[in-house]
Chain A
Amino acid sequence: GAGVSQSPSNKVTEKGKDVELRCDPISGHTALYWYRQSLGQGLEFLIYFQGNSAPDKSGLPSDRFSAERTGGSVSTLTIQRTQQEDSAVYLCASSWGQGLEETQYFGPGTRLLVL
Chain B
Amino acid sequence: GENVEQHPSTLSVQEGDSAVIKCTYSDSASNYFPWYKQELGKRPQLIIDIRSNVGEKKDQRIAVTLNKTAKHFSLHITETQPEDSAVYFCAASGSGYALNFGKGTSLLVTP
Contacts and interface: CB of A to CB of B under 8 A. Distances in A.
Interface string B79-97: 0000000000101010011
A104 B91 CA distance: 12
A19 B54 CA distance: 44
B98 interface: yes
A100 B100 contact: no
Interface size class of A (residues with CB under 8 A): 20 to 34
Interface string B1-23: 00010100000000000000000
B42 interface: yes
Contacts of B44: 43, 91, 106
A106 B103 contact: no
A7 to B, nearest CB: 14
A29 B34 CA distance: 19
Nearest to A108: B43
A84 interface: no
A65 interface: no
A58 B96 CA distance: 9
A43 B43 contact: no
Contacts of A56: 96-98
Contacts of B91: 43
Contacts of B51: 101
A27 B3 CA distance: 32
A42 B97 contact: no
A70 interface: no
Interface of B: 4, 6, 32, 34, 36, 42-46, 49, 51, 89, 91, 93, 96-104
23 contacts: A33-B98, A40-B104, A42-B89, A42-B101, A42-B102, A42-B103, A43-B89, A45-B101, A50-B97, A56-B96, A56-B98, A58-B96, A58-B98, A59-B98, A91-B44, A100-B32, A100-B97, A103-B46, A103-B49, A104-B46, A104-B99, A106-B45, A108-B42
